[in-house]
Amino acid sequence: TLGDNGRELEKISGLMRRIIEQEEFYVDTITLTASSSPEGRYAFNERLSRGRAEALKRYLVRHYGRGIDTLLTVRWVAEAWPELMNRIRTDPALTNREAMLELLSAERNPDRRERLLRERFPREYAYLKEVVYPQLRTVDFRYNLRRKGMVKDTIHTTELDTTYARGVELLQRCQYARALYILNDYNDRNTVVAHLSMDHNERALELLSTMPTDAVTEYLRAIACSRLGRKAEGREHFLEACRRDERMEYRGNLDPEISELLKD
């Protein structure tokens, strides 16, 4: 049950509140994926994981109303074998890592796999059961956000003509190709936003290199670099954006493309 996890529920509620109440992004989907450790029978663990995910969904619907139900997707993983194997692979406390991984890779039946692990590596299994297994009993909480504030905040008018105004209007309405057709002649920040919206990341960086540096242009550079796989460079641009405007840190925490830059 979820009743024994009050502290974790408070954390989830706080995160949900931040996501729902913020005005920077549209919330597209929220996905809950519950998983169990391999201890015990596979069929039981599947029921346990499913029950945990559905109980959490009911809890969130009770607290945030039926409207959130359309955003929530519930998934479950009976036993978190891939994560367990990753933990074994990287844990220096386990001296027989290679042999354990070989056994787990060779045996397809999950119940037999867990039993063989317990029988052949009793000392290592005791460690896994005490230290690692509790960390596999989780609910993974992922949300997909669609940037709205980034476009709204970065769109600006530097030309007082009706053609330009039409391009900005199309950009705000997410008609990016039509907006770019107009804004391409101006080569300003709105042109960059249009290029990024169409995944023209190299071209966006080219234009940004000609513009004065400020918090927004640095943030846009970070986005482009993230998409191009240039993580170190993108991280530096994001940190510079935060140095110039501390509000960028909050925005970055909600942006999956920035989160990707900050991973080790």
The token pair at 38 is 């391999």
Q: How far apart are CA 196 and CA 176, in angstroms?
A: 9
Q: How far apart are CA 191 and CA 185, in angstroms?
A: 8
For the packed helices 201-208 and 215-227, what is the interaxial angle rounded to 10 degrees? 150
Q: What is the rounded distance in angstroms from the CA atom of residue 244 to the CA atom of residue 213?
A: 10
Token pair for residue 203? 């071209």
Q: What is the mean pLDDT of residues 180-207?
A: 89
Q: What is residue 1's predicted lDDT score, i.e. its pLDDT?
A: 39
- Alpha carbons within 13 angstroms on the beta-carbon side of residue 90 total 7
Give the tens place of pLDDT for each residue, 10-55. 777 777 777 776 665 666 678 888 999 999 999 999 999 999 888 8
Rounded to whole angstroms, how far apart are CA atoms 155 and 93? Answer: 53
Residues 203 and 206: their CA atoms lie apart, in Å, by 5
pLDDT of residue 12: 76
Per the CB < 8 A criterion, the answer to whether 228 and 261 are in contact is no
Query: Has residue 250 got a pLDDT over 50?
Result: yes
Domain 6-145 fold: 60s Ribosomal Protein L30; Chain: A; (3.30.1330)
Q: What are the sequence ranges of the domains in the chain?
A: 6-145, 147-262
Residues in CB range of 258: below 8 A, 6 or more apart: 222, 223, 226, 238, 251, 252
Q: What is the pLDDT of residue 240?
A: 95
Tell me the mean pLDDT in the region 200-219. 92
**pLDDT at residue 236 in the model:** 95
Q: pLDDT at position 99, please?
A: 96
Rounded distance between C-alpha atoms, residue 141 and residue 33, angstroms: 7
3-state secondary structure of 22: coil
Mean pLDDT of 241-263: 83
